[in-house]
Amino acid sequence: MNTGNVKNIVTIVIVAILSSVITLFGYNTVTKNNSKGILNSSGSLRQSEYADSFDQDKNVRLANLTTQQGYPDFTEAAAKSVNGVVHVKVKSVSQQQYMNPFDFFFGFGERNTQPREQIGFGSGVIISKDGYIITNNHVVEGATEVTVSLNDNREMTAKVIGADPQTDIALIKIE
C-alpha cells in the first residue's frame, strides 16, 4: 500500500471518530435541556415553567389538560370554540374555453368561451359580535357569492370586506 493512501485512511478514521464524539455530546446536551418541563419522573405530562409563572396571577385559572391515561384533554376548549368556527361556501364564475369537436377536421376557428359556475368551500372564524369573520384569501378570491353556515345550521350571506393575497387572509362580514 502506498504511504499516501495510509495517511488518507488514518485521517478519515480520526475525523470520523471526532465527529461521532462531538455529535453524541451535542445530542446529549440538547435532549437533557429539552426534556425539562415536558415529562416528570413518572413519565406523565407536567406543566412547564411558563405555565408555573401564571400561578402568581389569581385571575388566571389553569385548566387540567390531562386525562386518566395522561393524554391532553381538549374537549372543554373544543366545546367553547365550536360556535366560533363557520363553514364558508363561495360561488364564482370562470370562463371556460369550448372547443368544437369538428374543428379537428375542418380547421381551427375561433375558440368559444362559456361562463362556468364553480363552487368552493372553506372555513372561517368569527372574530367579532357584529359579524366579522376571518378566512383564507384563496377561499373567497374571485367569489361572486359568499354564504356562511353557522354551527346551528343557519346560513347567511356574507360580503368580502378585504383580502391580502400575500398572507392569504381575507375578512368577510355577515350581512
Q: Please tell me which residue, 55 or 145, carries the higher pLDDT value.
A: 145
pTM of the model: 0.52
Instruction: Kindly state the DSSP code that residue 65 receives in the 8-state scheme.
Output: -
- If pLDDT is split at 50, 70 and 90, which confidence band does 143 have? very high
User: What is the signed CA dihedral for 67, 73, 79, 80, rounded to 10 degrees?
Assistant: 110
In the CATH hierarchy, which fold is given to the domain comprising 81-174? Thrombin, subunit H (2.40.10)
**Where do the CATH 2.40.10.10 domains begin and end in the chain?**
81-174
CA distance 86 to 131: 11
The 10s digit of each residue's pLDDT in 82-107 is 889 999 999 998 887 766 666 666 66
Residue 135: other Cβ atoms inside 10 A:
24
Length of the chain: 175
Strands 112-126, 155-164: parallel, antiparallel or unpaired by DSSP?
Answer: unpaired
Across the range 56-61, mean pLDDT stands at 51
